[in-house]
Amino acid sequence: MEAKFISQDDTTLWLDELAERHVVLAPMWDNTVVTFRPHVKGRTPVLDRMPVLPPKEGVFPQNEMLLKYKHDKDPENLDRTRVQVKETLPQETAVVVGARPCGTRGMLVFDRVYNCEKIRDPYYVSRRENTLFVTVACTRIESTCFCHDVGSHPADTEGSDVLLVPVKGGYVAEAVTERGEELLKASFFKSAAEKAQEAEGVKQANRAKLPEPHDYAGSGEKLMARFDDMEFWTEQSAKCISCGACTYLCPTCYCFNITDDSVGLSGKRLRTWDNCMSFQFTLEGSGHNPRPTKAHRLRNRVNHKFAYYPELHGVIACCGCGRCIKSCPASVDIRAIVKAAQNHTPKQEEGSDER
């Protein structure tokens, strides 16, 4: 399909129109930071930077009520309690506007887990099928960016329905999917004409800003070779403070916790984001914890993205957005950890210690 052009001002009007039919999540100033928030009529979205929070909220909200329940005493037999359960499947349709290609592409990591042959998570699938992604090509290459190291680039359309490329005065919009094409039928989109050329230039220029890509091929095997090397993991995790900023800000982290919030005899079952950096994540009912230290937990986070998931699904489960590095209170750098495993030279005594 031919590329379209939408002006800066029309973009807000377009979101106003979309918001009449869908939940529109767009980046906006939230006091001093930019987060994804429901679009408010007339408010200009902040499309010139990567939001602090990932776009996953649209499909995998931090809080999701799975069901409501109510306990009733049987008046005939007070020893008996009946439970009424009401599922709360999401119904609304949503458009996530203003994610970067890294974040949108990151959502594909979820699909292989929550919508596959073996498992079909009805809450996730319902949201996923009812959510469109209008992504903005990236023009801000930061020191924490490494999308190109993990097989992507600043104008990647993978996972998007529409890609907006910033040009003078607005955006050149390219439909990626049929549903994206439908979105571009709105009256605000004009023929892009010569602006399409400008958009190509923007894409090339930003691709060129990235340094030579690092090759993560084979990193999974290298990380697994270090699996039992707790000295390695203790060293790598030494400055980690074991908080959940990296995982909650990660576009590809999909783990959740389920808890019941009861008030009296009724309540709700909540699904909330969980994070593998937390001690409680693997704490078993017996009190045993297979990942008792932050070294064990950081190993899991890194390995999940660069070893376990690739082994199961054939792709690295990291989109290279760099949020985990940028927002880490201790500046832990996942790139450096994987590289340390890749560059690890076994000590001499290894191999002679066969028992």
Partner 1 sequence: MSTLEQLKDQIRKALPDLDVVIGWEQGYDAMHATPLYIRKEEDIDRLIWSPLCVHSLGTYLTGLTRTPGAGKIGLVVKGCDSRAIVQLTQERMIPRENIVLFGVGCTGCLSHARLEYKVEQGGHYVEDMHSITFKGDKVEVAVNGDVETFDFDTVCLEKCLTCRFPNAIATEHFAGEEVPVAPKCDKAPSLEAFEKLSLDERFTFWQDQMRRCVRCYACRNTCPMCVCRDHCISTSRNPHWVSQETSSAENFMFQMIHTMHLAGRCIECGECQRACPVDLPIMLFRRTMVHAVKNTFDYVSGADPEATPPLLTFKVEEDNIKERGW
> By the criterion CB under 8 A, which residues form the site for partner 1?
30-33, 35, 52-53, 62-63, 140-144, 235, 238-239, 241-245, 247-249, 257, 259, 261, 270, 272-273, 275, 278-280, 283, 294, 325, 327, 329-333, 335-336
The most distant pair of C-alpha atoms in the chain lies apart, rounded to whole Å, by 78
Comparison of 1 and 330: residue with beta carbon closer to partner 1: 330
d(CA 135, CA 129): 17
- Smaller CB distance to partner 1: residue 13 or 283? 283
Name which of 6 and 338 has its Cβ closer to partner 1.
338
Q: Closest CB to partner 1 among 280 and 352?
A: 280
Residue 286, C-beta contacts closer than 8 angstroms, at least 6 positions apart: none
Report the nearest approach of partner 1 to the CB of residue 44 (Å).
16
Comparing CB distances to partner 1, the nearer of 187 and 280 is 280
CB of 172 to partner 1, least distance (A): 21
Q: Give least dist CB 14 to partner 1, A.
A: 25
The identity of residue 271, as a single letter, is: R
Cβ proximity to partner 1: between 53 and 164 the closer is 53
Residue 27 has, within 13 A of its CA and on its CB side, a CA count of 21
Question: What Å distances lie between residue 330 and 142, 176, 239, 250, 334, CA to CA?
Answer: 18, 38, 6, 16, 12
Identity of the residue, 127 or 271, whose beta carbon is nearer to partner 1 in the bound complex: 271
CB of 49 to partner 1, least distance (A): 9
Minimum distance, C-beta of residue 126 to partner 1, in the bound complex (Å): 21
Range list of H helices, the chain:
8-21, 101-106, 108-114, 122-129, 178-183, 195-209, 219-225, 230-237, 245-248, 294-303, 309-313, 323-326, 334-342
Q: Which residues contact 304 (CB under 8 A, 6 or more apart)?
A: 276, 317
Question: Order of strands, edge to edge, in the sheet holding 266-273?
Answer: 77-87, 63-74, 266-273, 256-263
Least CB distance to partner 1 at residue 19 (A): 19
| Smallest gap from residue 61 Cβ to partner 1 (A) | 10
CA dihedral 57, 62, 66, 69 (to 10 degrees): -140
**Could you tell me how far CA 206 lies from the centroid of its own chain?**
22
Q: Name the minimum Å distance from CB 79 to partner 1.
A: 26
The residue (of 63 and 197) whose beta carbon lies closer to partner 1 is 63
